[in-house]
Amino acid sequence: MSSQLITPEWVKDAVFYQIFPDRFAQSRRVEKPANLEPWDSPPTVYGYKGGDLLGVVERLDYLQELGITAIYFNPILQSAANHRYHTHDYYRVDPILGGDGALRELLDAAHARGIRIVIDGVFNHASRGFYPFNHALENGAASPYLDWFYFDQERLRAGRPLNAYPRNARERRDLGYKAWWNLPALPKLNTDTPAVRRFIFDVARYWIEFGVDGWRLDVPQEIDDDEFWREFRRVVKGANADAYIVGEIWFPAQRWLQGDQFDAVMNYIFTRACLGFFGGEKLDTSMRPGGFRLKPLDAVQFARQIDSLLGLYDWEITLAQLNLLDSHDMARFLTLVGGDRERLKLAVLFMMTCPGAPCVYYGDEIGMEGGEDPDCRRSFPWDESRWDHDLLAFFRRAIALRHAHPALRRGRYLRLHADAARGVYAFARQAAEETLVVVLNNGAAPYALDVPVRRLLPNGASLGDLWGEETARVARGRISGLTLPPRAAAILSPAP
C-alpha cells in the first residue's frame, strides 16, 4: 500500500446516519420564523418545516440506541433554500437551524457519545445571495468580484444587467453568467481565481478547526481540477489528519481516489447493484437516480457487479467507502422496491456485512417512503405509533452485528456462491480471528444450503447461525444442514 493511501481508521468502524436538517427534528429552544409548513404535510420545493440542530441533539439517545456512530448532514450553512445547497454565508450556520451555537452544542454532545459529525461542502457554486455575487448583481462591471464567477463581462461593460431572476425559459437561456445546470440560483464559482481558491480552502479549514470531523463534497467533479482537490486535502488534513473527505460521485471514481484527493465517495454503484438484486421483479425502473437506469439483477449478475465494485479501488479506500441504499437525491429504497420490507431487510443486512461504511438515510429504519425530490425529503414522524417497530428492531440488530464482529468491518471479502435460478448469494468475511459466512436467499422459495467454502472452514466444522437459531455443518468442502426461508439470511460462524 502506498504511504499516501491512508484513510481515517474511525470510518472503517463507523455506521453513518444521513440527516436532511430541515426535516429530522425540531427543538423548542430554537426560535422559528412564522411561515413554516406543518411538520406532517407533504414536502414542497420551497417550503420549510423548521428542523434544527438542537432537535438532533435532543434525539441523540435515539441515534445511539440505533447504533449510529457518525452523522452526515446535508448543508447546514446559511442559505435561502430548504436544502441549503444555495450558500449565502460560508462562515455561519443557518439561523433557522440554531446558528453557530447550536452546532457547537451538537458537536460537544455528539463527541461525548463517540459520534462523529460530517457536513456538506458546496464549493462548485454559491447563490445569488452570496456577497461577491450580490455585489456584482448590484454594481455590474464596476464590481471588484467579477473574477469570482463566470460573467459575460462584455455584457456588463455594455451596461446590460445580469438576468438573475428570469421570468421564463427564454430569459433563462440568457443569464449573463454560468450557473450549475443553468439554474439561475446557483452561479458557478470560478475556482481558477486565486482569491476564490483561498476563500474555499479557508472555509474548509475553519469548520474542521471548529470541530467537524469531515466534509462531504457536493458535485466535486464539476471542479475539474485535480490540483484544487489535492490542495483541499492538504488543508483539511493539516487541520485534522483524521478528517474524512467523501465526494459525491455517482460513477467509478478512480481519478479522485488515488490517496491524494478524497478518502472515499458516496457509493452509488453499490446502491444500484442492491436495488437491482434485492428489488428484482418489484424494482421500479421508471425512476433514474442520478440519471442512471435501474434494472433487475439475478444473483450471478449481482455477484459480478459486486466483484467489479470491490476491484475498483485499493482496499484501504474500499474500507472507507460510504455505502448507501438511498439518499436525499433519489426515491427511497422502500418505495423503489414496491414497499416490500423483506427486500429492504436483506439489502440492509448486506450493507451491514459488506466492506465500507454503511449509511442509513434518516427514517429508513422506521419504514419511511418517498418518491423523487422533494418527496424523498419528508419530515421524520416522531409519533411512534406511525413507526414500523419490527423494521426498526431489524436495523438495530443488523447494526449491532456489524459492531460486534471486526471481520464484518475490516475482514477480507470472498465470494462463495451465486445461484441465479434460486436467487441465492453467499460470501465470506475473514479476519485474523474469525471467519463468517453470509448467505442471502432473495428467492421466493426455501433454500437448502449447499454453499462451497473452499478451504475457509474445515470439514466436520459445526456452524452456528448468528442471525437465526439453527446450525449447519461443513462436509466435503460445502455448507449444508440448514434451510433458509424465502427472503431470509444466515450468518454462519464456527461453533466454539
Average pLDDT over residues 213-238: 98
**Whether 248 is catalytic:** yes
State the catalytic residue, choosing from 22, 213, 248, 465.
248
In terms of phi and psi (left: phi > 0; alpha: psi -120 to 50; beta: otherwise), the region of 483 is beta
Evaluate whether 225 touches 218 at the Cβ level (below 8 Å). Answer: no
Average pLDDT over residues 293-297: 97
Evaluate whether 401 touches 427 at the Cβ level (below 8 Å). Answer: no
**Whether 218 is catalytic:** yes
- 445 φ, ψ (degrees, to nearest 5): -125, 160
Is it the case that residue 124 has pLDDT exceeding 90? yes
CA 174/CA 152 separation, integer angstroms: 10
Is it the case that residue 97 has pLDDT exceeding 80? yes
| Residue 45 CB-density burial (10 A; 0-12 exposed, 13-18 middle, 19+ buried) | exposed
Round the average pLDDT of the chain to a whole number and report it.
Answer: 97
Return the pLDDT at 1: 37
- Alpha helices for 280-357 (secondary structure H): 299-310, 315-318, 333-336, 341-352
Return the pLDDT at 496: 77
pLDDT band at 4 (very low <50, low <70, confident <90, very high): low
State the catalytic residue, choosing from 52, 120, 218, 316.
218
pLDDT band at 222 (very low <50, low <70, confident <90, very high): very high
Please tell me the pTM assigned to this model: 0.97
pLDDT tens per residue across span 436-493: 999 999 999 999 999 999 889 999 999 999 999 889 999 999 999 999 999 999 999 9
